[in-house]
Structure formats: C-alpha cells, structure tokens
C-alpha cells in the first residue's frame, strides 16, 4: 500500500500538513479543518520533512498489532509531537499501551476521530513544537548547549561572544563540575575556528611519564615501545582549538615545554629535530587558584601570564538559582529517554530541595542525582528522597546537638564530593582538602560506601571527566 493524501474539503491552500502512520491498513480518517493528512503504512514512507515547520505533527494508529512499528517511529522521531489514534476507550487497552499513551504521546483520540477536536489538538501540538524549535535554535545560535537564563549565565554568554572574536589564549576558572569544558566548546563555536578540530585534554589524567609524548607526539624509535610516528594532541588541534583542562595539574618540569610552544607557535616531536608550525588557539582551565600556586612555587609565573591573556569565570551552580530547575528538567528528559523511565518532572517539595541544596559538586552533581533518580524511581514526579535530598528546610527542624549537626554536614559534603567524581575517593578527597586516608576514616565513621553510580558524559560538562583526550572535528 502506498501513500494516501487525505485532504479536507474545508482546507485552505495554506493548510498545514501532518503524517498519519497506519501500519496495518488505511484508516478512514477525515482530515481536520485547516490540515492535510498524508497517510503511510511503512516507516520508510514517512517524509523527511516530519518535525519541521512544513510538517510539524504526526498521528499514529496505536493498537497491540502496531505496537512494534509505533515504538520504532517514536524512536526515529523523538522530537516530533505525536497524537495517537486508538480504536477503543483508553481504559480498556492493555496496560502496556496505556503507559505508552501516557509517556510518549502528546494526546490521543478514539476512532472515529472528531475532525474539529482533532484540528484543535494538532494546532496545539504544532504550537508547542514551534516554541521548542525557537528555544532550541536560540540556545544553539547563542552558545551551543549552555542552558539557563540567570544573570550570571547571561553575562557568561555575552563574555563568550565577545571573546570568540579574538584568537588570544583564554584561561577559564571555575569550580569542579561547573561546566568549564562546555564553555570552552562554546568559545570554539563562536570563533573563526569553528569548522576546525576541538581537542580536549585532561592534563591531570595523563601519567607524568607520558605527558611529553601525548602533548607533543613522538617519532618512531624515540623510546622503547614507540613503534611508529604519532601526532600529539597539540598537533592534532592544528587549525582549531586545544582545550587544556586542569592545567594546574601539569607537572612543573613539563610547563616550560608548553610555554615554549605558546611563545613560538611551533613544536618538535619527542625524538625529532624538525620544528612544526602550529596554528592553534589555546584555552586552558583550572579549578585551583593559579596565583596562589605561582606564589607557592607550584606553577610557573611566566606560563601563568602567557595563559592568562583573556579570562573567563564560570559561576558555580549555587549562584545560578533560577537555572537549577531548567537544568534538572533537561537532565530528566535526557535520562528518561535513555532509560525509558516514568519520571516526567519534580514535585514542589523536590524543587524546593533542589533550590536549597548547596551543590558542592555543581552541575555534575545535579546530573548525577537526577540520573540516579530517573533510573531508580517509579514516580511520575520525583520526590526529594529520590534525589538524595532533604524535603524540609533546615530551619524547620528541631534544634540538633552540635555533634549531630556536624556529622550531617560532613556526610552531605562527602556525598556531594563522591557524587561529583562518580565515587572516585581520591578525587573527592582532593576536592574536600583532606587526605584519602582521612576521607576513608570519615566515611567509615559515617557509614558511607563509595558506590556512587558513574554518570554519563555525553552532552554535559566534562571538565573532570576521565580519559586523556576527546576530539570533535568541526561542527
């Protein structure tokens, strides 16, 4: 069976279009006023324009026989608002179909569908799709995937646009988990180098004995195990941007080599003799106070000034109060699709708990808590306990003994640090300013197990992510 256009006699020439997927057999559906329907049986017949302005909405015949095809269509067109057409009242459908209607569809109508009511639903769905499209286009055109409308984030966006016009080195400073790599990607996207590679390197994750060859590359036979010539991260960023994350962790004996590259815009591979010219923009980031590190002799002063030409500060999450709900909902939507979870939002108690929490792990901690809640909770609206947060304001509780209050504060700080680093005790101890032995002793006293789930890093701030380098060629 082919494609069947069904056009209402009331449709105007500028009628909007919608696709009707009827996998089993054609449906005798009258096109609603102001709309033209293109009925298809197979996924391959769905026009590429579905989800765009010309064809913003889809309809789908949903039944036990069409379940598999419907699920594939939802997976292939996740951003399209779908309206379900069912043959009997929803209460009589199998529980699996009822759950699909509730979770995956914008609305549903029982056949035979009333054309006027259907036109109202399609118009509402198209309006919502247009709002989402405008929001997405605005975010992407401004600064990539940086979310939020707080004054601090609006200021950050303006700074990124301003600094994107220049090619000078930028030093990004901010707490761990605040989104330094995301800001670096936005700087790259706002620059003339946007079509070139973006190479991200975590300087703190490279073993000291490999830093030289990883950054600068090496020639064949340069050292034992160097069986072939290899380009380093700096050379791979030629024509684009290199992001040196956690630059404060770079050992002092390697800092002079990086300084030379920044000054000469050229490098020589390990074991080589020929200098290679570089056309790169350098963006560095750190969560430590580099001025203090310079004063303590742990960071070269000349390298600090070479890096600190332009400056960008990332606000911590606790300074972005009005953004917390938007970020939490974005993470919920992402993990709900990934895990096929039931959660659709947050209870008002959970929203209050999100606003009151101090967020020592910043955006990474928020992502981790929401990810765990979506995976583990069966609630449609997540509660504070799903997020591992307290529902009541501390001022409403009884007055606690000082020892009990101190233990609760220590527990919250340790759990937040562990959540920020996905259970990595060494990194958590460094963030908390204690030794790993001390942290283990505190965890034992407070009955804390280092079993925090690992968070995904696909589209979120990655300024503390494990791994030595990540690349993205162009956009």
The reported pLDDT for the residue numbered 392 is 57
Task: Give the residue carrying structure tokens 């684009």.
Answer: 240
CB atoms inside a 10 Å sphere around CB 9 = 7
Judge whether residue 279 has pLDDT over 90: yes
Domains of the chain, earliest start first = 4-138 (3.40.50.2300), 151-315 (3.40.50.300), 319-445 (1.10.8.60)
Beta pairing partners, 19: 38, 58
H or E segment and range at residue 404: helix 402-420
* All residues at 6 or more sequence positions from 232 whose CB lies less than 8 Å from its CB, including other chains: 213, 214, 215, 216, 217, 218, 267, 269
What does DSSP assign to residue 430?
H
Average pLDDT over residues 348-352: 91
* Predicted TM-score (pTM) of this structure: 0.57
CA distance 338 to 375: 9
DSSP string, 233-249: HHHHTTTSEEEEETGGG
H or E segment and range at residue 414: helix 402-420
The pLDDT tens digits of the residues spanning 361-383 come to 999 999 999 999 999 998 889 99
Token pair belonging to 184: 């670096």
The pLDDT tens digits of the residues spanning 151-180 come to 899 899 999 999 999 999 999 999 999 999
CA nearest to 57, candidates 71, 41, 36, 43: 36
Average pLDDT over residues 336-340: 88
Beta pairing partners, 198: 241, 472
Beta pairing partners, 472: 198
DSSP E strands, 130-189: 170-173
CA distance 163 to 262: 18
Token pair belonging to 300: 């070269």
What's the start-to-end Cα distance of the chain, in Å? 40
């Amino acid at each position: 069976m082919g494609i069947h256009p069904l056009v209402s006699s009331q449709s105007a020439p500028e009628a909007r279009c919608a696709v009707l997927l009827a996998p089993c057999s054609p449906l005798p559906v009258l096109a609603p006023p102001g709309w033209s329907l293109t009925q298809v049986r197979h996924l391959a017949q769905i026009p590429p324009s579905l989800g765009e302005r010309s064809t913003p909405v889809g309809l789908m015949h949903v039944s036990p026989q069409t379940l598999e095809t419907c699920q594939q269509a939802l997976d292939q067109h996740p951003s399209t608002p779908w309206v379900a057409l069912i043959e009997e009242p929803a209460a009589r459908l199998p529980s699996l179909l009822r759950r699909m209607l509730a979770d995956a569809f914008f609305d549903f109508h029982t056949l035979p569908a009333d054309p006027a009511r259907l036109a109202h639903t399609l118009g509402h769905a198209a309006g919502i799709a247009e709002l989402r499209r405008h929001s997405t286009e605005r975010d992407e055109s401004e600064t990539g995937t940086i979310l939020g409308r707080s004054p601090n984030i609006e200021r950050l966006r303006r700074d990124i646009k301003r600094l994107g016009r220049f090619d000078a080195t930028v030093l990004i400073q901010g707490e761990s988990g605040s989104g330094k790599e995301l800001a670096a990607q936005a700087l790259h996207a706002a620059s003339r180098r946007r079509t070139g590679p973006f190479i991200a390197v975590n300087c703190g994750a490279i073993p000291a004995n490999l830093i030289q060859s990883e950054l600068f590359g090496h020639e064949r036979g340069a050292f034992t195990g160097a069986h072939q010539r290899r380009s380093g991260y700096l050379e791979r960023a030629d024509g684009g941007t290199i992001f040196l994350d956690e630059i404060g962790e770079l050992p002092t004996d390697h800092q002079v080599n990086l300084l030379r590259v920044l000054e000469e815009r050229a490098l020589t591979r390990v074991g080589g003799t020929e200098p290679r010219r570089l056309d790169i923009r350098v963006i560095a980031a750190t969560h430590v106070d580099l001025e203090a590190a310079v004063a303590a002799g742990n960071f070269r002063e000349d390298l600090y000034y070479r890096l600190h030409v332009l400056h960008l500060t990332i606000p911590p999450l606790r300074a972005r109060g009005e953004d917390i709900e938007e970020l939490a909902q974005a993470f919920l939507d992402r993990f709900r699709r990934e895990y096929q979870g039931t959660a659709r939002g947050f209870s008002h108690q959970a929203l209050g708990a999100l606003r009151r929490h101090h967020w020592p792990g910043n955006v990474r901690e928020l992502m981790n808590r929401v990810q765990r809640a979506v995976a583990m909770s069966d609630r449609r609206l997540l509660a504070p306990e799903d997020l591992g947060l307290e529902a009541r304001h501390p001022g409403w509780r009884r007055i606690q003994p000082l020892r009990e209050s101190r233990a609760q504060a220590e527990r919250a700080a340790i759990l937040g640090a562990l959540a920020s680093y996905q259970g990595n005790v060494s990194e958590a101890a460094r963030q908390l300013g204690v030794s790993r032995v001390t942290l283990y002793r505190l965890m034992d006293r407070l009955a804390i197990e280092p079993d925090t789930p690992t968070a995904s890093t696909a589209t979120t701030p990655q300024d503390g992510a494990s791994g030595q380098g990540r690349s993205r060629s162009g956009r």
